[in-house]
């Protein structure tokens, strides 16, 4: 089970890497757009500032252009760059070809179990449901995640849960079967905190102060 940072901001990347237990970084076109910089430059800098996998999404209009984008991104570091491809039948065929070339593929924006099933047939490393977004759009993103997990069982494709907005959603995604999780830095920092834990710390400190 792995925990990824979901951000393209270099300050977030550096802070997450300092935690030690964060294994890589996921990005998407919207996150990269917030940096105001070209995508490949952001990819290069994240690779330099982090360890583990870095996810980078192709965006071109045509299959040929998306394949060229995927190859160019992978050239930065074939062992660390995970190319993200949105879940469409056309893109699944592209993903299959790219995996044959040794490029690691993540099928993203998975909105139903049939897409996760096809991602596994294409040899994708990951299928990614956007849990919170699916809850808002369909009513139960965790149920979608659970079905995705069921259809890829016994294959090499893993479920990476994204669009998680709270510690409670993170836990629900793990219980539903997500192997790996990607979350923004603010959600990550909340995972280890709880008001009752802080109360216990304060109580211990007050009790210990009495003996001084």
* pLDDT score of 205: 85
- Where do the structural domains in the chain lie, given as residue ranges? 2-209
User: Where do the H-state alpha helices sit in 80-177?
Assistant: 89-100, 113-121, 131-138, 141-152, 167-175
The answer to whether the beta carbons of residues 39 and 32 sit under 8 Å apart is: yes
Q: Which is more confident, 47 or 208?
A: 47
The CATH architecture to which 2-209 belongs is Alpha-Beta Barrel (3.20)
Total-model pTM: 0.94
Q: Which residues contact 197 (CB under 8 A, 6 or more apart)?
A: none
From 108-122, 156-170, 191-205, the region with the lowest mean pLDDT:
191-205
Q: pLDDT band at 81, cuts 50/70/90? A: very high
Interval 168-204: pLDDT, tens: 999 999 999 999 999 999 999 999 999 999 899 888 8
* pLDDT score of 207: 81
Which residue in 15, 34, 72, 84 is the catalytic one? 84
* pLDDT score of 209: 85
| pLDDT of 212 strictly over 70 | no
User: Where do the H-state alpha helices sit in 20-59?
Assistant: 29-33, 39-49
Structure tokens at 63: 């299959």
Distance CA 42, CA 194 (A): 34
Q: pLDDT band at 1, cuts 50/70/90? A: confident
Is there a catalytic annotation at residue 72? Answer: no
| pLDDT of 104 strictly over 80 | yes
């Amino acid at each position: 089970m792995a925990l990824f940072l979901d951000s393209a901001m270099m300050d977030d990347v550096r802070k997450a890497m300092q935690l030690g237990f964060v294994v890589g970084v996921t990005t998407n076109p919207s996150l990269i757009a917030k940096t105001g910089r070209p995508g490949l430059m952001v990819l290069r800098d994240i690779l330099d500032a982090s360890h583990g996998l870095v996810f980078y999404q192709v965006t071109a209009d045509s299959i040929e252009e998306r394949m060229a984008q995927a190859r160019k991104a992978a050239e930065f570091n074939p062992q660390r760059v995970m190319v993200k491809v949105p879940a469409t039948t056309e893109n699944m065929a592209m993903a299959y070809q790219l995996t044959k070339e040794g490029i690691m593929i993540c099928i993203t924006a998975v909105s139903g179990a049939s897409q996760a099933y096809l991602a596994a047939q294409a040899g994708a490393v990951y299928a990614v449901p956007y849990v919170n977004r699916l809850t808002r759009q369909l009513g139960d993103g965790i149920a979608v995640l659970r079905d995705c997990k069921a259809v890829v069982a016994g294959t090499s494709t893993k479920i990476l849960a994204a669009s998680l907005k709270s510690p409670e959603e993170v836990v629900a995604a793990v219980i539903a079967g997500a192997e790996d999780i990607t979350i923004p830095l603010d959600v990550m920092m909340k995972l280890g905190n709880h008001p009752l834990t802080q109360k216990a710390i304060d109580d211990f400190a007050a009790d210990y102060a009495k003996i001084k």
